[in-house]
Amino acid sequence: MINISIKRKLLLYNIIIQILILFLFSFSLYKTLEISAKDKLESTLKVILLDVVDDIIEHKEQMNSRDFDEEKEYKFKPLYIRLLKIQEQYKIIKSTTFTDEIKIDIDTLKKLKLNQINFEYQKNYIISKIKIQIDNKDYIVEVATDFSAINSTLENLIYILIFIVPIILILSITGGYFLIYKSFLPIEKLLLNLKSINASDLSKRLESKNINDEINLLSQEINNLLQRLEVSFNKISQFSSDASHELKTPLTIIRGEIEIALRKDRTSNEYKKTLSNCLDEILTIQQTIDDLLFLAKKEHEVLEQTEEIIYLDEVVLEAYTQMQTFAKLKNINLICDIEEPLQINGHHELLKIAIKNILKNAIIFSYKNNTVTISNYKKEDAFIICIKDEGIGISIQDQEKIFDKFYRTDKSRNKDSGGTGLGMSIVEKIVKIHKGKIKIQSEENIGTKVYFLFKGTKL
């Protein structure tokens, strides 16, 4: 198929449609005029025929000598009139100069009904006929004419159409091209503006007017798309930079440890210490890569097992038990408060990972000898898990970015926490997998509350 622009396609379709419309209009007009002219001609012949019949019946004694002068009387030319007597064969009683092209069929004449007008078309002639009785004898009166008047009218119409139709077609095509050009002008401007936008600068926006038309709506949607793309590109750029930094730092440490160890001979313990330090950094790299792979997976790839009904109190209790030792090491009092057994559809191990991540952060960033509380309860239609600490808190600015990959708050930007900066992103993804929401309330130097909100399953 020929690859042409939409404008040219529309122009081509416009030309084809206009030609079809004008052709159908011309044909309909021609046929309408033809039928109307024939109806008018039949009506005229009917009047003349009845007038002739009345004269014949009124002057039946002189029918053989009577002249048919209706052509002059009605000023209608050409007009052919004749009177036939029907027996076994027909006999012409009286006739004007009748054309030989009009044939007589005796069988057809015999089949005519009495006093009923019939019309017959032969070649270029129309014949009106009526069967009458005079002194119990059957007669046929025929009045005929040709189509010269109709043909002349139709020929004039054809000449008019041949002159008018091309003019109308040219005007309609010109008007169609103007409408198409004006309609596509905003789109062409939009495309021109789009060409100036590239991946290196997504801050530009299309001009949008306060007009509620399709082009303006399209511009607004493209601007919204550009806004989302700009945010995504910025996040990807930040992620690439952070990922490079997070992986480069342990590699630099490993290289430094090895270079120092190779400068001179070392004792066995010194080599073990070097290898131990390298192993710690390798484990950090491995944890970072595992976290990145988890975040990169699609939801159906994460959920290898079928969803099942899980009890939130059991998940909370297991996470609480497993984090007890870590809490004691940090001198934190970990409390578990379970109000009632609640159940949802989900994945036991994944949800436990999310809870443990939050618990770990709460323990790490709490002041010594303080309390971290984990509880689950029901509020209206929501099933809630709440983790509360009395730690350093999170600033409002940091709360907006805390779920970004590799993001750490200013107070925890150093590596002492041992995290990869991906924990909160993983938590957010797990909660979304469970069709839940995560909510944070925090004040600096007072503490933080993290809520998991789920839609419950009826028992």
pTM of the model: 0.50
- Tokens 């929501």 map to which residue? 382
Q: Residue 413's pLDDT is what? A: 42
Tokens of 457: 């399953």
Q: Which long-range contacts (CB under 8 A, 24 or more apart) does 129-135 make?
A: 129/49, 130/49, 130/50, 130/53, 131/86, 132/53, 132/56, 132/57, 134/56, 134/57, 134/60, 134/63, 135/60
**C-alpha–C-alpha distance, residues 287 and 353, integer Å:** 14
131-150 per-residue burial string, b: 16 or more CB within 10 A, e: under 16:
beeeeeebbbbbbbbbbebb
Which of 213, 90, 194 has the alpha carbon at shortest distance from 142?
90
Phi, psi of 147, deg, nearest 5 = -95, 20
Q: Residue 407's pLDDT is what? A: 67
Do 401 and 412 touch, CB atoms closer than 8 A?
A: no
| Alpha-carbon distances, residue 362 vs 323, 404, 447, 448 (angstroms) | 11, 18, 9, 8
**Residues in a beta bridge with 443:** 447
Q: Residue 204's pLDDT is what? A: 78
Q: Residue 450's pLDDT is what? A: 92
Query: Which amino acid is it at 109?
Result: L
Do 50 and 61 touch, CB atoms closer than 8 A?
A: no
DSSP string, 161-180: HHHHHHHHHHHHHHHHHHHH
Q: Residue 345's pLDDT is what? A: 85
Please state, rounded to an integer, the average pLDDT across all residues of the chain: 82
Secondary structure letter of residue 380 according to DSSP? T
| pLDDT tens-place values along the chain, 459 residues long | 467 788 888 888 888 999 999 999 999 999 999 899 889 988 988 998 898 888 888 887 777 777 788 888 888 888 888 888 888 788 888 888 877 788 888 888 888 888 899 998 888 889 999 998 888 888 899 999 888 888 888 899 999 999 999 999 999 889 888 988 888 888 888 888 888 777 677 777 777 777 777 888 888 888 888 888 887 777 777 666 666 766 776 788 788 888 888 888 888 888 888 888 888 778 877 777 776 666 666 555 555 555 688 888 899 999 899 888 888 888 999 999 888 888 888 888 888 888 888 898 899 888 888 999 999 988 888 899 999 998 888 888 877 777 776 666 654 444 455 556 677 887 888 888 888 899 989 888 888 999 999 886 544
